[in-house]
Structure 1
Amino acid sequence: MDQVGRRVRDLGIVVGTLPTGAHNAITDVPGVLVGHTTVDDGADLHTGVTAVVPGHLGPGRWTLPAAVYTGNGHGKLVGSTQVDEFGVLESPVVLTATLSVFRAADALLGYLMDRRPEGLSFNPLVGETNDGYLSDIRRRPVTRAHVLAALTGASDGPPEEGCVGAGAGTTALGFKAGIGTSSRTVRMAGRSATVGALVQSNFGGTLTVLGVPLPVEELVPDADRTAPPGNSCMIVVATDVPLDARQLGRVARRAIFAMARVGASFSSTSGDYAIAFGTSQEAPIPDSEIDPVFAAVLDTVEEALLNSLFTAVTTTGVRGRTSHAVPHRSVLERLSAAGRAPAVRAG
C-alpha cells in the first residue's frame, strides 16, 4: 500500500530551534489566507491553482510593502517588475502551471477590477512552475473559475500540502513534490512576530535532509531516469515583522538561499523566484535587528520545501509517467544511522 503523505515534523525531522506558529504554516501570519483549486482527472491532468491572499488588502489599504528576488530567471512571473520598481504588492499571489499563467493573470486582473471598480491600473502577480512531466500542459486546463475558486475559498486554517493546487503535478529533487508551508515565531522589540512561507517545488538536485544527501537513485532504484532535472521553484514569504521593501528584498534573497539546504542544483533552466511581503503598518525595524528574521526565513523555507516533498504521494500522469513519493521509512533509517534524527516509525 502506498504511504500517506506526512509533514516532516510528524516524522521526527525538526529544522532549526525556533518555535513554529500554531499551524506551522504561512497562515500563522495574521490576515494571510491560502486557497487551492486542484485540476486532476486521474490520468493526463495534474495541475491547478494556489492563491496566497493577504486579507489586509482592501479599502483604505490597497498596497503592502513587498519585494521579488530572482535566483534564476528562466520563468514567467507576471507583474514582478512593478513590484521591483515600486516596492509594493497590490494583489494576491497566484501560482499555477507554466502555460496557464497568462489565463490566471487575466482572471486575477478581473478579480482586482471587481474589487476596485474605480481603478484604472492593476498589477496582478502570478507565478508558475512547469508541471508538464505529469500533466498535459498544452491543454491549458486552468480557467477563470478555477482561479476565482482558489481566491474566494482561501482561509486562515492549515493549508493543504503536497499534490494539491499548483503542486498537483510538480516534481523536485527526483521525487514527487508539490505545495509546502511552514512558519516560525521570533521575538522583536519585546513581542512575538511571525515569518511564514509557502512553496511550489519543482526543481532539480539531490534531496538533502538535515545535511544528509538522499539520492533518488538509491532510495527508489526503479525511478524513471527520464524525468526532468527540475523546472523551477516559487517561494512566497509573509511576515508581520515591520520591514520596508528594501529589507523585504533581503528577506527574499535568504528564501532562495534556503533552497541550497535541501540540495537544489540551481540549474540553468530553473526559474527560482522568491516573493516577500509584509503586513505591518509600523515603522520598519533597524537593520541591526534583522538577523533573527533572516534565521527564521532560512529555517521556514527549508521546512516548507521538505514538507512539499514528504506530503506528496506517488503520482502517475500523462503518457503513463510516474513520479515516486519520498520513501519515509528509508529516509528515517538513513537519518538515524547518520545520527541526525530519532528513529520514528513511518506509516
Structure 2
Amino acid sequence: MSPMPYASLSRRVGVLLLGLLLPVASMAQDGTRARARELGVAPGIFAPGRFNAITDVAGVEVGQVTLVEGDNIRTGVTAILPHGGNVYRSRVPAAAHVGNGFGKFIGTTQVNELGELETPILLTCTLCVWKAADAMAAWLLEQPDMQSVRSLNVVVGETNDGGLNDIRARPVTADAVRRALSTAKSGPVQEGSVGAGTGTVAFGWKGGIGTSSRVLPQKLGGWTVGVLVQSNFGGVLQVSGAPVGRELDRYAFQQDVAARTGAGKLADDRGDGSIIIVIATDAPLGDRNLRRLASRGMMGLGRTGSSASNGSGDYVLAFSTAESVRRAFDAPRLETTELANDQMGAVFQAGVEAVEEAIYNSLFMATTVSGNGQTVEAIPLDRVREVLRRHGIAPAVK
C-alpha cells in the first residue's frame, strides 16, 4: 500500500495533522501529560510490550489524522490495519461484542456472521461513519489485486464528539481517511487528543485515543495482546481502585446524590457517551474464542468506573493476526491451528489488563481542548497523583 500524495490536504488552511507529526506514544502533546505507568499505575500482573501499544502485536499498524479547523472543528480519523498486506485477500479471524448497542459500528454484523475481518478498522465521529466507510471502500478498490472485487465489508466505529466538534458539518473528508490508511505504521502510537479522539470526553474530562499491551510469559504461550480505545464515555472514575472521580468532585449522577453545585459539577450527567475498544493478538484464535476475548473487554472497561450507561455505545472488536488462522478469501476449505479453550485464561487476563490501562492512557495523555464554543479540561494529573498516593498506589514524590 503506497503512501498517498500530500498536496491536496496541505492546501487546506488550518488543518493540523497532529497524528502524523507527533507519533511517539509516550510523548505528551504539551509536555505536561503522562501515561499511566509514569503515575505508578500498572494494572494487573503481566508485563507490557516494547511500546505498550496495540502495535506490539507484530504486523498491526495505526494511522491517525487530526482535524482542527477554525473554532468549531475538532475531530479526526484513526485507522487500524491488522497486517501490512491485502486484508481482503488475507483475512484475519475476528469477532465483535456489544456491551451496549447505542451506537454505530458499521460492518460488525458480517464480522460476527462470517467470523472474519476483510478490511482495516476505522474510528471517527458519529455523523462521519458513512463518509469514512465510503472513502475506505473507494481507497481499497483502487489497490492492486482488487479490480474484480464487487463487495466489501468495511468496518467503521464511532463515538459522538458533538460537544467540542461541529459534528453536523460532517468534517471528515475522503482525503483524511486516505491519509490515515496510507500512513499507518507500526511502532509508537500517539495518544490523547488526536485522531478519532480529538473531540472526545471521558468521565467529564478530556478523553481520546489510548493504547496498551501485554505479553504473556513463555510458559503461558508468549502471546501478545494489544488494545486501542477511543474513549468518550462517563461514569465514576476509579484508577486501580482509587476513587479518583469522587475525590476530584466530578462523576456521573453527582447532582442527584450530592445535591450541590461547584466547579467540578457536571450538568445533568448520566454517564452517557461511548467507547470503541479494539483488541489485537498474535495468539492463534478462531472467531469463537475471539468473541469470548472481546466480551472480556467490558471487564476492563468496568474496572475504570463505567456502568455502560443507557446512552453509551460500548463496542469491542477482537482479531487475531496469527498466520495459522489466516483465511484466504477464495480458499475452498480452512485448515487452521487454534489455541485450545483451556489455554484462553491468560489471554483473557491480558486483555482485561490492557483495556483498563489503555483507557487510563487515553485520559491521562489528553490535553485541554476548546472548540464549538466549549472547553473540556484535561484531567489534572497533579491532583490524580495526590489521590493515588493517599490510596497507596502512586509512589511518594521525592
| Range of TM-score over shorter length | over 0.9
SS across alignment from 1:111:
helix
Partner of 1:222: 263
Partner of 2:382: 329
User: What is the CA distance between 1:60 and its match in structure 2?
Assistant: 8.8
Distance in 1 between residues matched to 2:128 and 2:268, nearest whole Å: 21
Give the % identical residues: 46
Equivalent pairs, count = 343
Give yes or no for the alignment of 1:49 onto 2:49. no
Partner of 1:97: 125
Partner of 1:206: 236
Match of 2:101 among 46, 55, 73: 73
Partner of 2:396: 343
User: What is the CA distance between 1:230 and its match in structure 2?
Assistant: 3.0
Match of 1:241 among 273, 283, 308: 283
Distance in 1 between residues matched to 2:375 and 2:342, nearest whole Å: 48
| TM-score calculated relative to the size of structure 2 | 0.82
SS across alignment from 1:215:
helix
Measured at CA, do residues 59 and 297 of structure 1 come closer, stay the same or move farther in structure 2, by a change above 3 Å? Answer: closer
1:230-262: per-residue Cα shift (whole Å, max 9, x none)?
A: 310000000000100000000000012211100
Measured at CA, do residues 103 and 16 of structure 1 come closer, stay the same or move farther in structure 2, by a change above 3 Å? Answer: same
| TM-score calculated relative to the size of structure 1 | 0.94
Distance in 2 between residues matched to 1:181 and 1:92, nearest whole Å: 17
Gaps in structure 2 of 5+ consecutive residues:
1-29, 251-261, 325-336
Match of 1:168 among 178, 182, 198: 198
Distance in 2 between residues matched to 1:165 and 1:217, nearest whole Å: 30
SS across alignment from 1:322:
strand
Partner of 1:271: 313
Partner of 2:12: none
Give yes or no for the alignment of 1:114 onto 2:142. yes
Q: Residue 56 of structure 1 contacts residue 279 of structure 1 at CA under 8 Å; is this kept in 2?
A: no
Task: Please identify the structure whose Cα radius of gyration is greater.
Answer: 2
Q: Which deviates more from structure 2 when the two are superposed, residues 35-44 or residues 175-184? A: 35-44
User: What is the CA distance between 1:216 and its match in structure 2?
Assistant: 6.6
Q: Residue 272 of structure 2 contacts residue 310 of structure 2 at CA under 8 Å; is this kept in 1?
A: no
Distance in 2 between residues matched to 1:212 and 1:162, nearest whole Å: 22
The one-letter code of the counterpart of 2:278 is V
Q: Residue 87 of structure 2 contacts residue 118 of structure 2 at CA under 8 Å; is this kept in 1?
A: no
Measured at CA, do residues 224 and 49 of structure 1 come closer, stay the same or move farther in structure 2, by a change above 3 Å? Answer: farther
Q: Which deviates more from structure 2 when the two are superposed, residues 77-86 or residues 225-234? A: 225-234
Gaps in structure 1 of 5+ consecutive residues:
none
Partner of 2:46: 18
Match of 2:187 among 157, 182, 189: 157
Q: Residue 52 of structure 1 contacts residue 94 of structure 1 at CA under 8 Å; is this kept in 2?
A: yes
Measured at CA, do residues 167 and 276 of structure 1 come closer, stay the same or move farther in structure 2, by a change above 3 Å? Answer: same
The one-letter code of the counterpart of 2:283 is V
Match of 1:6 among 34, 42, 56: 34
Distance in 1 between residues matched to 2:201 and 2:248, nearest whole Å: 17
Q: Residue 88 of structure 2 contacts residue 119 of structure 2 at CA under 8 Å; is this kept in 1?
A: no
Q: Which deviates more from structure 2 when the two are superposed, residues 181-190 or residues 139-148? A: 181-190
Distance in 2 between residues matched to 1:236 and 1:257, nearest whole Å: 14
